[in-house]
Amino acid sequence: MPVDPQVQLLLDALAAAEAPPLHTLSPEDARAAYAALAVARTGTGDAASTEDLVVAGPAGDVPVRVYRPEGADAPAPVCVFFHGGGWVIGSIETHDALCTALAARSGVVIVSVEYRLSPEAPYPAALDDCLAATRWVADNAAELAVDPRRLAVGGDSAGGNLAAAVAIRARDEGAPAIAFQLLVYPVLDHSFDQPSYVENAEGYFLTADGMRWFSSHYLGGTSPTEPLAAPLHAPDLTGLPPALVLTAEFDPLRDEGEAYGARLSEAGVATTVRRYDGMVHGFVSMYALVDAGSRGLDECATALRQALAVDAVEVRR
């Protein structure tokens, strides 16, 4: 199907602005440009209380923001969320409205993580920070009034990559126990050879050249098939937590997300893969402007709420 008309209006506005592509900018300038775009496309979030805290990470303090929805259970289910931005751009602030809305719609406490960015701190710095934050949530569940048995990880784009990698490391290292993974148009490969990279190389917000720029900064000298940098190359996906994988029709990352979902299912992991036709990368963050983005956000919220329900977790255990 064609690009959704609401999305096309946004793409036309971006084209008319004639802003330079992010991959032609320095990381610092790209961060500033993305921060401005994030405010323009999301507006404000729904009501939820927030608290800024600091976690001890492997190389220093890791800021986190805790979003607690009104009327949340005590102890509440919790999702540790990793923002997108190609490991180079993005922050707690760029995803503040999204996390606020996700908490409000799901009834789940969201803990957003300000991990280190590349190229200043390439792989595995971001992953190490995200795992440290996830372990901190589990270890401090009582103080946070959350239930460590009902702990999920999630993220969009590069954050989906980090969520998938945290789930693998947590399985391999024996802790923390993760009940669910929410992977929203995740980066799962660095090969750039899927058909969706050719079909959607440019013109749909995220470009193939942009992804090559992001990946080169993140990987540094790491192999593009390193399993924790590219979870699609992980040799064993058995024993991972159930997953929801969202993809977008006009997204270079579409095929790798769907391939990972298929591999999870083949490994016996309960997995739902949902493609949103007519959508582009980042559409869930456009929920205030695009109807399908709001539907995608609702699907994420419903999946978290159902997967982290007390009875659902008890059945799986």
Show which residues are catalytic.
157, 251, 281
Q: How far is the C-alpha of 37 from the C-alpha of 58, rounded, in Å? A: 31
The answer to whether 194 touches 256, Cβ cutoff 8 Å, is yes
Encoded tokens for 234: 């992980």
Distances (CA, A) of 150 to 26, 39, 141, 232, 305: 40, 31, 10, 26, 10
Distance of CA 70 to the CA centre of its chain: 23
- Residue 176 CA, chain-centre distance (Å), reads 19
How many angstroms separate the Cα of 127 from the Cα of each of 188, 228, 266?
A: 13, 8, 25
